[in-house]
Amino acid sequence: MTVERPNTLAGLVEKRGEIAGQIAHTRAALRQLIIDLDHIDAAIRLFDPDYDVAGIRQRIPTAAHRAIRGDLTRATLDALRDAPGPMTTKELARHVMAERGLNSADAALLQLFTRRTGALLRWQKKRGILRSMKDPQHGRFDLWEIAV
Beta strands in the chain (DSSP E): 87-88, 130-134, 142-146
pLDDT in tens, 72-118: 899 999 999 999 989 999 999 999 988 888 888 888 889 988 999 99
Sheet containing 130-134, strands listed edge to edge, beginning at the edge strand earlier in sequence: 87-88, 142-146, 130-134
Name the residue ranges covered by the structural domains of the chain: 7-55, 71-146
pLDDT in tens, 19-70: 999 999 999 999 999 999 999 999 999 999 999 998 998 876 666 566 677 8
Q: Give the pLDDT score at 139.
A: 67
**CATH 3.40.50.2300 holds for 71-146:** no
